[in-house]
Structure 1
């Protein structure tokens, strides 16, 4: 089996699974319990929080554990907007955000907020200048992703953060779910107020995530309950999941230098070889793109048909993002980039991990060529 769908989810590290099992088996107490057993669980949770904070180079009290990227994004977007609605009900985002941001914005629109969706260029990149031009007196919040989950475009987060230093009352949220471990990010230096990450995107477990909230920033909780996570995220904490996430993040950062170089080499090989086929159009930009994603379209062939053709060869890739892949619609990211609808409907996404190899890539290239030939014969 060759797994090239790592943007959808990654295989958990064995050490991560071991730590989750160990904590779940031996330290299963509720960390809010007052007895010693609960205190042991609470200590593990605190240690995991400290480790994540150190790895992200932020303060321990700026780390909040969640159930994943979707919850972190919703908590950031809705929590910030609702908390600061008296300061202004105008929000800004891009036209290529993940559904967990875009649909959260749409919900806020239904209750009286005004949203500006800043367009992107043909490479899927937003401009800091365009974002500044969209700012109004009542703008209170801006959300821009670090790496686009469909085509891999890296957004100019540093430039946006630098620009926003002139607007101290506007909160800046970054969805870094696809970027952690692939693209550098300095939360404090880049003037980021809130940042979302998800454990299963870097070989942690599904159902684990983090929301970074800069010290001093206040947002409204989405859950009512027992006031866990310093009253921002109620619900009994997933101690084993938090420990597993911290371990996965550490292991990912330890391997990042060699891992990123490996992914970039494979991506370049795939781009070079696939570009030789007249049926294939590469959608991922050659500049300002993450090393692990390559999106391309197949002229005249539905992506679903092609995905299943590769699946028969035990090769697993995807169409758009995993969250949208079962919807029979063209990619909103590609159409926002100006890609024709028919081309967008034939898009395929390859996404890599540190552990993929050039040997696998060569087999995938051969399989793609053979599958295209087989499908072309059927179509005649």
Structure 2
């Protein structure tokens, strides 16, 4: 199978897997134990934590390890809104967010919060003028993802940080899950930032939440007080050390990989531009191409490509089984038949030109196969 679904998950680096296994064998101890082996494991934990903070250039932040970006998003949102409720009830977010943001915010409506959506520009980025017009004394929380998981648009994080300086009671959260190694962003000034290791060639089951002011966060789950009493539960030390290794390797090769994937991105786009019933979404991050077979169903295209040994997806793997039109593509004013026929092609560090050539051949074969279905 030729893999073009890297936005859903990535293959772990061999080095990250080796780190995971070594730590599992030699440092399986509980980092909260007070015996010497526990202390050794704890020192390794803190070394990995500091390495990640250093690599992310967030040395003044704290980092709480979680099981996923979904958990990190939930902690940031639920914790802060409990605290902020007395100061205001309005939440601002983009129309481009992942279900682990959107669904939590929808739940917060039941607790008396108002959720308002910032307008989206044609390129798939938030409209800063729209955001500016929506800011008032009742706004307590703003959340905007760093890089969209459907079309790859990169959001103006630094500009939003500057804008929110005039609103000190607003907490700014960024879901950076898709952005690590794909976009060169400065997160300093953001209040909380979520990441997940399996999106940048680490292992599954480990994520993180960077926190600018630890004293402002309260636990959502209660237990033994691990991770600054923010995220109780025995710490996944093998996963954490593997994440540190994967992050270092990812950032070390990011420029080279992104240059290559950007060329592949253009090659894929150029190969289908002359096809009447193909619609391409705007190009942004180098590793994502979103296109629609207008008149067909995205699931049909995905299955047809799968039969040819090529793995792509429809939308987010976390939402692909939901019978709803994708929020990102709706925000870009796409017609229903364009959204329904959408597929996401997402490349990774191991994608080769031969892979791309085979994908292009398969796309054209599927296009011809669908024939009169397209319109």
Of 248, 273, 276 in structure 1, the residue corresponding to residue 274 of structure 2 is 276
Does 2:17 align with 1:17? yes
Inter-partner Cα distance in structure 1 for 2:165 and 2:258: 30
> How far does the alpha carbon of each residue in 1:275-330 deviate from its partner, in whole angstroms, 9 at most, with x for none?
121121001x13xx111111011021111111111111110000011011122332
> How far does the alpha carbon of each residue in 1:227-269 deviate from its partner, in whole angstroms, 9 at most, with x for none?
1111111111101111011111001011111011111111111
Q: What is the Cα deviation at residue 123 of structure 1?
A: 2.8
Q: What is the Cα deviation at residue 145 of structure 1?
A: 0.5
Q: What is the Cα deviation at residue 217 of structure 1?
A: 5.5
Counterpart position of 2:195: 197
Inter-partner Cα distance in structure 2 for 1:76 and 1:306: 37
Inter-partner Cα distance in structure 1 for 2:220 and 2:374: 51
Counterpart position of 1:85: 85
Instruction: List alignment gaps of at least 5 residues for structure 1.
Output: none
Q: How does 1:136-285 map to 2 (within 5 A)?
A: 136-188=136-188, 191-215=189-213, 218-283=216-281, 285=282
Counterpart position of 2:314: 319
Q: What is the Cα deviation at residue 378 of structure 1?
A: 8.1
Inter-partner Cα distance in structure 2 for 1:378 and 1:343: 13
Inter-partner Cα distance in structure 1 for 2:220 and 2:228: 13
TM-score by length of 2: 0.97
Decide whether aligned partners of structure 1 residues 378 and 186 sit closer, same or farther in structure 2, where only a CA change above 3 A counts.
Answer: closer
> How far does the alpha carbon of each residue in 1:149-208 deviate from its partner, in whole angstroms, 9 at most, with x for none?
1111111112111111222221111111011100012122xx211111110000001111
Q: What is the Cα deviation at residue 135 of structure 1?
A: 1.2
> How far does the alpha carbon of each residue in 1:86-138 deviate from its partner, in whole angstroms, 9 at most, with x for none?
22221110122111011111111111111111121333221122112111212
TM-score by length of 1: 0.95
Does 2:341 align with 1:343? no
- Of stretches 159-168 and 250-259 in structure 1, the one that deviates more from structure 2 is 159-168
CA contact (8 A) 1:145 1:176 kept: yes
Decide whether aligned partners of structure 1 residues 61 and 122 sit closer, same or farther in structure 2, where only a CA change above 3 A counts.
Answer: closer
CA contact (8 A) 1:193 1:217 kept: no
Counterpart position of 2:131: 131
Moved over 6 A (4+): 377-380
Give the total of aligned pairs: 375
CA contact (8 A) 1:91 1:114 kept: yes
CA contact (8 A) 2:198 2:204 kept: yes
Inter-partner Cα distance in structure 2 for 1:330 and 1:342: 10
Inter-partner Cα distance in structure 1 for 2:136 and 2:213: 25
Q: How does 1:43-58 map to 2 (within 5 A)?
A: 43-58=43-58
Counterpart position of 2:293: 298
Pairwise CA RMSD: 1.6
CA contact (8 A) 1:82 1:219 kept: no
Inter-partner Cα distance in structure 1 for 2:357 and 2:11: 21
Counterpart position of 1:59: 59
Q: What is the Cα deviation at residue 81 of structure 1?
A: 1.2
CA contact (8 A) 2:92 2:142 kept: yes
- Of stretches 143-152 and 155-164 in structure 1, the one that deviates more from structure 2 is 155-164
Q: What is the Cα deviation at residue 40 of structure 1?
A: 1.4
Instruction: Give the secondary structure class of the aligned counterpart of 2:291.
Output: strand
Instruction: List alignment gaps of at least 5 residues for structure 2.
Output: none
CA contact (8 A) 1:296 1:347 kept: yes
> How far does the alpha carbon of each residue in 1:51-94 deviate from its partner, in whole angstroms, 9 at most, with x for none?
10110111275111111110111111111111222222211101
CA contact (8 A) 1:49 1:60 kept: no
Q: What is the Cα deviation at residue 140 of structure 1?
A: 1.1
